[in-house]
Amino acid sequence: MPQLRISNEEYMRRRQTLFSRLADPDVDALVLFGPNNVSYLTAFGFIPTERPMAAVITPDSAAVLVPQLEKEHAEEFALVERVDTYPEYPDVRHPMEFMKDLLVDLGLENATIGVDSEGYGQIYGYRGPRIPDLLPGAKLVNILDDIEYMQMINSEEELNLIRESCRWGNLAHTYLQEYCEVGVSETEISMRASFEATRAMIRTLGSEYRPLVFGNSTAMAGFRGQIGKASAMPHSMTSGVKLQAGDVLVTGANASVWGYGSELERTMIMGEPTERQATLFNHMLEAQTLALNTLKPGRPCSDVDNAVREYFRDQRIEHMWRHHTGHAKSTLIHEAPFLDVGDDRLMEVGMVFTVEPGVYVPDFAGFRHSDTVAVTEDGFEWLTYYPRDLESMTIPI
């Protein structure tokens, strides 16, 4: 049975590494409001709402501040020595006043504090003071770039969770393709495929399995509205349409394992492809193959996108371009760095990317595969492994 969570030892190493790489050696503590950042360093995954939550981390200990309704949740899952609570938001006393109490109690009122934000985000109607308003004597240092960089480089534990995600996303997509039939709605096909894959996933992984996310909590596959002419809209929305002969289908599949995910997308065709469909499909496939072969540690991320755009120009289809070649992927939907001409950060071993150049013709169809891969010392490792060729992606009707 694979390990289905990040070990406590790795969480502790992350904290030590973050403090050691800060440019300001005098940082006494960290205050993190971003849910992904809190989870990354404390194992506490939560649903962000109008009720602020935060982690306070020193070199020797950690604490979280949560609303009363999250008390038991934090006590069970957060890898911290202290859980402080406040009654509710809005309430007689603002939650950030309780944050001030926590920071003062830890002796940080005049400290140097590393933060990912000066205060909780203004979401779901939340409004409130920032740390400088609470502790005017404290010096704040923005550490967002440091923690984001650490999240770009995946450890072997993280890679194994992403591999496990790919395994179940692959199964969900297998069901999705199997259930595609003319006259059946995308919603029905997606729900059926996701249910079957999720049931197999839970039965196989057992009681130790935790998705650790809000929303898509297990295995899923679907179309997100990219059916027929709407496949030409890269970020379409589910509409519940029924599949028809000749439709181009752009799919997506994923699974969550301890908060880690993957991205598997394929272009499928209902029935024998037309010559135009086959030509555009093959352009997309050639561009993706070119992008994959450009992945190498030490090269700028921009090299990958430049290679794809040069191919589009050579083939005189640059007008069919809509988006960059890919993005990093681990615990969020999109992450930095980006496979884009505007991102010259160097690829490093342990980075995980989606590789997904697309070809789009309005009022006709769109063509996009997306695979999740890890950068290795000599190139890349396939993490997703679903068939890519046109014959495999043609659905008999």
In a domain, 1, yes or no: no
Residue 98 sits in the same domain as residue 208: no
For the chain, what is the domain count?
Answer: 2
Residue 313 sits in the same domain as residue 373: yes
In a domain, 241, yes or no: yes
CATH of the domain at 69: 3.40.350.10
The answer to whether residues 98 and 120 touch, using CB atoms and an 8 Å cutoff, is no
CA 166 to centroid of chain Cα atoms: 13
pLDDT along the chain (397 residues), means of 10: 93 97 93 97 96 97 98 98 98 98 98 98 96 97 97 98 98 98 98 97 94 81 97 94 98 97 98 98 98 98 98 98 98 97 98 98 98 98 98 97
Both structure tokens of 354 = 């989606």
Residue 146 sits in the same domain as residue 159: no
Q: What distances in angstroms separate CA 161 from CA 8, 39, 301, one per listed residue?
A: 15, 15, 24
Residue 253 sits in the same domain as residue 191: yes
Per DSSP, which regions of the chain are E strands? 29-32, 54-57, 62-67, 82-86, 112-115, 139-142, 219-222, 248-250, 252-255, 267-270, 326-328, 335-339, 352-355, 358-361, 365-368, 371-376, 379-382, 394-395
Q: How much is the pLDDT for 23?
A: 87
Residue 285 sits in the same domain as residue 332: yes
Residue 127 sits in the same domain as residue 217: no
Residue 137 sits in the same domain as residue 201: no
Q: How much is the pLDDT for 150?
A: 98
Residue 145 sits in the same domain as residue 127: yes
Distance CA 153, CA 236 (A): 31
Residue 220 sits in the same domain as residue 308: yes
The answer to whether residues 225 and 236 touch, using CB atoms and an 8 Å cutoff, is yes
Residue 142 sits in the same domain as residue 169: no
Virtual CA dihedral for 158, 160, 164, 166, nearest 10 degrees? 80
Q: How much is the pLDDT for 103?
A: 98
Distance CA 366, CA 359 (A): 6
The answer to whether residues 36 and 146 touch, using CB atoms and an 8 Å cutoff, is no
Residue where a domain terminates, one of 99, 121, 151: 151
Residue 328 sits in the same domain as residue 279: yes
pTM over 0.85: yes
Residue where a domain terminates, one of 104, 123, 151: 151
The answer to whether residues 267 and 395 touch, using CB atoms and an 8 Å cutoff, is no
The answer to whether residues 18 and 146 touch, using CB atoms and an 8 Å cutoff, is yes
In a domain, 46, yes or no: yes
- Host domain of residue 205: 153-395
In a domain, 2, yes or no: no
CATH of the domain at 355: 3.90.230.10
Residue where a domain terminates, one of 119, 151, 183: 151
Q: How much is the pLDDT for 2?
A: 83
Strand partners, 327: 338, 354
Residue 283 sits in the same domain as residue 308: yes
Q: How many helices (H) and strands (E) does the chain have?
A: 10, 18
Q: How much is the pLDDT for 212?
A: 86
